A = this chain, B = another copy of it.
Amino acid sequence: MEITPKFTDFTELETRYRANLINSLSGFKSACLVGSVNTKGVYNLAIFNSVFHIGANPPLMGIVFRPDNGQRHTLENIRKTEYFTINHIHESIIVQAHQTSAKYGEDLSEFDETGLTPDIGTLHPAPYVEESVIRIGLKLNDELPVIANGTIILIAEIVELFLPTECLDPDGTLNLSMAGTVAISGLDGYFRTEKICRLSYARPGKFSEVIG
């Protein structure tokens, strides 16, 4: 492929073009549905491609909230109730998951509007998605403001986890391809995946080997 020095001045780009391009540059992203509940008891569900790993001990995840979302029900709900869920998206629920990004009023539940099913546990009040095969319950830990653009990064601790045992390798690694979890690129592109390999822990002097 010919590699072209394409851009250095991004302010020249049309707004939507720039959004599509820059959203593609961070590579493949996780595809998750975030479940929360408001103080009236309405279950909110929203698709996010900005969930990321922070650390394993304590088990922490991060999630980016964009400043340009005027409604931001999910962020408000998490601030008020402290709990939320992250539910992996697989291929057969992509259309319903994507539909949660439509701007519904705060009295409407995206569960009702998309046909996905809320599943409430005993540990906290936030709804899981019954159709998801990997479901994670989290408690708010911290809020980090990104000064440069008004974005907010939430840090949360994992408090509960549901998963299909058959997708778990003996060493604790989850086989996400087997679970059917999809990846997102850009704003609206959904991808299935196929495992190439796992590679052994790298040490100087010798290339790693395929371990699975």
Q: Which A residues are within 8 Å of any B CB, using their own CB?
A: 1-8, 10, 13, 15-32, 49-62, 64, 66-67, 86, 88, 91, 94-96, 98-104, 113, 123, 133-136, 141-142, 144, 146-149, 151, 153, 155, 157-169, 171-177, 179, 181-183, 185-205, 207-208, 211-212
Contacts and interface: CB of A to CB of B under 8 A. Distances in A.
Nearest to A47: B202
Nearest to A25: B136
Contact of A1 (B133, B136, B157, B160): B133
A32 B29 CA distance: 12
Contacts of A99: 202, 207-208
Contact of A153 (B27, B144, B161): B144
A172 B18 contact: yes
Contact of A6 (B55, B104, B163, B208): B163
A197 B192 CA distance: 10
Contacts of A7: 160-161
Contacts of A176: 24, 27-28, 185, 189, 191
Nearest to A30: B27
Contact of A20 (B67, B104, B171): B171
Nearest to A189: B198
Contacts of A186: 173-174, 198
Contacts of A159: 8
Contacts of A204: 102-104, 113
A141 B144 CA distance: 15
B188 A196 contact: no
